[in-house]
Amino acid sequence: MDRRQFLATTGAVALSAAAPRALAQAGGDDARLSAAFASIFERQLDLSPAMVTSLGLDKGARSMAKSQLDDNSKSGMMKKLAATQAAIKELDGFKSASLSDAQRLNLDVVLYALDQQTVSAGKFGLNSVQRPYRIFQQGGSYFSTPDFLNTSHTIVAAPDCEAYVARLDAFARNLRTDTALQRDEAARGYLAPGWSLDLTLGQLKKLRSQPAADSSMVQSLVKRAAAKGIAGDWQGQANAIVEKAIYPALDEQIAAIEALKGKTAAGDGVWRTPRGDEIYAAALKQATTTDLSAEQIHAMGLEQVADISAQLDTILKDAGRTGGTIGERLAALNVDPAQLYADSAEGRAALLAQLNRDIDAMKAKLPNAFATIPDTPLEIRAVPVEIQDGASNGYYNRAALDGSRPAIYFINLKDVGDWPKYGLPSLTYHEGVPGHHLQISTAQTAGDIPMLRKTAFMSAYTEGWALYAEQLADELGGYATPIDRAGYLQSFLFRAARLVVDTGIHAKKWDVKQATDYMVEKTGFARPRCQREVERYCTQPGQATSYKVGHGVWTKARAAAQAELGDAFDLKQFHAILEEGAMPLSMLEKRVAARAKAVKAA
């Protein structure tokens, strides 16, 4: 991966160069803080072998991490909490230090992020307020580990194969830990809704049903070792662990979930759990990095749904689609044969090929809006069939820091009917470029922010940028026809509806059917797709609100910079804020304003 280079314009150079110059010229406090950041990051890596691998750092002194998985026990959670609290205490000592502006920003962002990391375990005894259930249709070792091994664990030489086998053994242990902890947490009242457990059981049984030798866990190792010409009985070793350790652990988990299912509380939102209202408030704060209440977010969603629907009405009428509600007209467009790929292997291959063409076409347009562009490779893959029933419609995995593994944009192709052609460009711009891939790659290759920030994820910033990227793609001519542009607006409508639905589920006690009915009525997406999304919101409170809340702040910050600079506003210069890394929305607005003032004064 190439490192980001500084912008060419005078004002942008002043902004981009200010941070490294300040760090070089500042006194010992800046240097001491940088050392503290580096030490804290290393201690985080010590506690997360999975993070080490995901960043491509499982080499050299950290090669042993490649044989391990994260400790998913309660003691593991408490170790991470203690480490985070110790890091906060250490960094609090720098609040009165003499720091450069760049380091002051780094300190503020890192402290904010670390403080939020203490909330779930410290206040509620949970791994995450946004994922409050140990095992559900999109959570648990059974769901994440096989995909992690297949996509993040690289195979280049025999030690990588040995490490893979060791991780299979660790996977069996983590499955048993999940099962024991789910029993404990169920006794405390934290157990996913019954329908979620049904979906979970379906996926567990699908993972368990294959002969061990044919399982994706075994075949991923066997095929990749063969492709590299690595000698060894990898089939036999992996098969033995799957058959003798992993499958018995899965059997135990299946039995436990079946026994627990009848005991789960009625209802679909997190309100059904002990301190559920507090958990939701904490989840909203984490997801949006704001203090917006559920009522405020719900009202925001209703207003935006109405506004975007009005814009769609004009486009659809111009296209001759005049009958019915917006949702009904979009639903009719969604099943138009001209908009659908064939429900076959060939149809799925054609869909993926078109996504790659869309990526390539947008890459050619990026120089119109960005001065420098990371060349981090991106692959587009279908979600693995073993988890597609419960997986999201699309998601992004970042690349390894050293370029040893590309970024991956996953799309769920369980039902190609979920993906009419006119809606695909906006998804690609969201997950790929100029969305997640460009933003995250920019942060990872930026030279002068600490690793704690390069690797940070703040949903409102990141998902808000990805929605802004869909809008930017419109400005760059990324939607070839008015109907393609309707697909982009439908994407926005979908995210606005999420504000209504997420708060409806968790604050107003909507059930799955009521929330799904609303999504279908307003967005026109097929019911199975809407229901799969609603099921995600039920089990991951707050996260769905981050998109449109974040988008609103990105567009507001840009408008303010344009108003400040007038004709001197430079879009490339504005987008250079990405080099400063993810940050809470309130800090983003302040940083954009400060950059604009610096350019105006230059």
The answer to whether residue 271 sits within a structural domain is no
Residues 284, 251 share a domain: no
Domain range for 21: 16-124
pLDDT, tens digit (0-9, with 9 covering 90-100), for 66-91 = 999 999 999 999 999 999 999 999 99
The answer to whether residue 92 sits within a structural domain is yes
The answer to whether residue 58 sits within a structural domain is yes
Domain end, chosen from 266, 300, 335, is at 266
The answer to whether residue 286 sits within a structural domain is yes
The answer to whether residue 442 sits within a structural domain is yes
Residues 438, 524 share a domain: yes
At residue 11, the pLDDT reads: 32
Average pLDDT of every residue of the chain? 93
Contact 108, 587 (CB under 8 A): yes
The phi and psi torsions of 394 (rounded to 5 degrees) equal -160, 150
Residues 459, 337 share a domain: yes
Residues 97, 62 share a domain: yes
At residue 274, the pLDDT reads: 98
At residue 24, the pLDDT reads: 43
Residues 535, 409 share a domain: yes
Residues 211 and 291: their CA atoms lie apart, in Å, by 50
Domain end, chosen from 95, 124, 153, is at 124
The 3-state DSSP class for residue 564 equals helix
Residues 534, 450 share a domain: yes
Q: What is the dihedral of CA 112, 128, 290, 541, to 10 degrees?
A: 170
Give the number of domains in the chain.
3
Q: How many CB atoms lie within 10 A of CB 585?
A: 23
Residues 496, 367 share a domain: yes
Residues 74, 162 share a domain: no
At residue 4, the pLDDT reads: 24
Residues 483, 354 share a domain: yes
Residues 511, 451 share a domain: yes
At residue 457, the pLDDT reads: 83
At residue 384, the pLDDT reads: 87
The answer to whether residue 592 sits within a structural domain is no
Residues 431, 509 share a domain: yes
Question: pLDDT under 50 in the chain at which residues?
Answer: 1-25
At residue 394, the pLDDT reads: 85
β 378-382/407-411 pair status: parallel
> Which of 566, 568, 567, 559 minimizes the C-alpha distance to 592?
559
Domain end, chosen from 65, 93, 124, is at 124
Q: What is the dihedral of CA 463, 469, 474, 478, to 10 degrees?
A: -110
At residue 447, the pLDDT reads: 75
At residue 334, the pLDDT reads: 92
At residue 363, the pLDDT reads: 97
The answer to whether residue 596 sits within a structural domain is no
The answer to whether residue 37 sits within a structural domain is yes
Residues 174, 56 share a domain: no
pTM score of the predicted model: 0.91
